[in-house]
Amino acid sequence: MVGSERYAVRDEYRTPVDVLLLVLREGRLLLTRRAGDIYGSGWWALPSGRLEPDEDVVTAAVRELDEELGLRVEEDDVVFVGVTHALPPDSGARIGFGFLVARWAGEPTIREPELCSELQWSAPDELPERTLPYTREIVRLHVQGEHFSRPGWPPSTPPRPAG
């Protein structure tokens, strides 16, 4: 393909892409307490995970809910909430796609105890104090009806007028 080299993804431009899942029951969100030797161990987070190679975000959402919690979800029940391009102070940039899931089959069960020690249902406006900022940001987008954020990045400089 002519010119395809120009658009090839190079290692220095790869940013982790995650799915963060707002599993909603009776107005409350399902949170997982992270465990083990992972980022944010001991903190609360939405069920989440990284995309695998050649996987789209909806497929990743369905897979993660099954792997982590034993929940079976149809792709049509995974509803886009928003995207955050975060630059946390203690790690590199990440892109997180938030999805709302209000219908599923099964009961949430910890299936990866080496990564999750506890489950809890919380109202979106009553998240535990030790909730990861990445989770808080996706919940904020959902509650405020926004669809994009870029926390941690410096403000952009507006373009100068021509002439």
Q: What is the pLDDT of residues 29-64, one digit of tens each?
A: 999 999 999 989 999 999 999 999 999 999 999 999
Residue 161 has pLDDT above 80, yes or no: no
| pLDDT confidence band for 11 (50 / 70 / 90) | low
CB 51 within 8 A of CB 17: yes
**Average pLDDT over the chain, rounded to whole?**
92
Q: What is the pLDDT of residues 133-156, one digit of tens each?
A: 999 999 999 999 999 999 999 887
Q: What is the pLDDT of residues 85-135, one digit of tens each?
A: 999 888 889 999 999 999 999 999 999 999 999 999 999 999 999 999 999
CB 35 within 8 A of CB 41: yes
Residue 10 has pLDDT above 70, yes or no: no
* Domain annotation for the chain: domains and CATH numbers: 14-148 (3.90.79.10)
For residue 114, the number of C-alpha atoms closer than 13 Å in the C-beta half-sphere is: 2
Higher pLDDT, 46 or 162: 46
Mark 24-63 as b/e (b = at least 16 C-beta within 10 Å). beeeebbbbbbbeeeebeebbbbbbbebeeeeebbebbbb
